[in-house]
Structure 1
Amino acid sequence: MRVAVVGGSGKTGRAVRHALATRGVRSVSIGRAEWPNLAAASADADAAYLIAPNMHPDEPRYVADALAAMTTAGVTRVVYHSVASPFAPQMPHHIGKARSEDLVRRSGLDWTILQPGAYLQNFDLTADLEVPYDVEARFGFADLTEVAEAAAVVLTEHGHLGATYELASRVATPAELAAEAGRRARKVEAPEGHPWLEAMFDYYDRYGLLVGTRPLSMLLGR
């Protein structure tokens, strides 16, 4: 089996390729350099793992182009890396993923969709934790290594066609994560800049982002 990992040079893509390698599965990383010739780059692949660049300004177009290239290349199986709670109208980049999920489901390919929560690895707990939202907000956090293992499972094992899985390793608040590391957590002012980030931080501040933990446990056999 050979898997094309679109976005394979990023942290998620590298983790997925490593998880596939531990199962003896060959993969090829498809990045920006290969994008103009995506169909040719993925021509020998049996399946694809599709990751869009973070905060892509038009993820549905990116995903549509990738799906078209996969179809041209003869790839029949795709796993799309989405996000937990994609239909959250206050967060434009989540809506982009919701629309992309719809494209995946109507692509004609055999598909599975993964919806991971925020990565635990996004936090640096070697110092006190500072985040631009309520430190007592509850989240379903995902361990990147476990998400990658789940990706390898659904790519290589039967029974996952047409499935959409929320992925979280644990439910916690930023304050709880900091306390476990012997650190403090506090809310700081959100940096000005990208309006989508500002919208995301405002959403987190109000609602957190809860994600169920059972699907990941099931996929990993725990």
Structure 2
Amino acid sequence: MTTSRVGVLGGRGKTGRAVTAALEDRGVVGVPLGRAEWSDLAGALAGCAAAYVIAPNLHPDEPEYVADVVVAAQEAGVGRMVYHSVASPYVPAMPHHLGKAAAEDVVRRSGLAWTILQPGAYLQNLDLSGPVRVPYDVHATFGFLDLADLGAAAATVLLDDGHVGATYELASRVATVAELAAEAGVAAERVDDPGTHAWLSAMFAYYDRHGLPVGTLPLSALLGKET
């Protein structure tokens, strides 16, 4: 696939920066787009062959957000879209996951050539420089994803053939918070949920009971390496 410019919605956050860096490693210009470009998103996407779509964290209506991006992409002549979803999007106990499940449906019905990525929890979200304190069971199992691996996977599905119509769960490794902390030589403990957002509290409660397991084989296959 010939692609010289890719619009990265949410491109100024840590996820977007990882995607843009990976695109640049492949000789492609990643165009970070955010709130400043929203008033004329179609204009901002002009000249982009593809778009990578990251919604703002805990967006109150992610399906509508993604639908607006789809319309702008269509108006701009962008034929290729990769949507940044989440591992296990259809989980009724986590409202923001359900929003991403509905947004996936919007993408699949968009008429664009689409791919959906479903990342696990980021390794970089854990500060392993000291005691690790999280509001859920430190022995719960997760599929953790390294941001560099996410960026490389995004660049792969955006630029290489064979990924249109595919949905990939992504994890770099399977572990518990306790295991990661032990490897770093620090302690790990469960603390009370701060209750700052109802959706986050629901997520922590789900993690406490079930974790968020994600297999590593899809990422390994995408990147052609052991993970």
1-structure distance, mates of 2:38, 2:172: 32
Of 93, 96, 102, the residue aligned with 1:93 is 96
5+ residue gaps, structure 1, are: none
Q: Do structure 1's residue 16 and structure 2's residue 50 form an aligned pair?
A: no
**Between Structure 1 and Structure 2, how many residues are aligned?**
222
Taking the TM superposition and a 5 Å limit, the aligned residue runs for 1:23-102 are 23-102=26-105
Q: Secondary structure at the match of 1:24?
A: coil
1-structure distance, mates of 2:158, 2:196: 37
Tell me how far 1:193 sits from its aligned partner. Answer: 2.1
2-structure distance, mates of 1:74, 1:208: 40
CA RMSD of aligned residues (A): 0.5
Question: What's the TM-score once normalised by structure 1's chain length?
Answer: 0.99
Please name the residue that 2:222 is paired with. 219
Of 175, 179, 182, the residue aligned with 1:176 is 179
Structure 1 runs (4+) greater than 2 angstroms displaced: none
Residue 117 of structure 1 aligns to which amino acid in structure 2? G
Residue 119 of structure 2 aligns to which amino acid in structure 1? P
Q: Do structure 1's residue 160 and structure 2's residue 163 form an aligned pair?
A: yes
Please name the residue that 1:143 is paired with. 146
Tell me how far 1:27 sits from its aligned partner. Answer: 1.8
Q: Percent identity?
A: 67
2-structure distance, mates of 1:177, 1:171: 10
Question: What's the TM-score once normalised by structure 2's chain length?
Answer: 0.97
Please name the residue that 1:197 is paired with. 200
1-structure distance, mates of 2:30, 2:133: 37
- Partner deviation per Cα, 1:170-215 (whole Å, 9 max, x = no partner): 0000000000000111000000221000000000000000001000
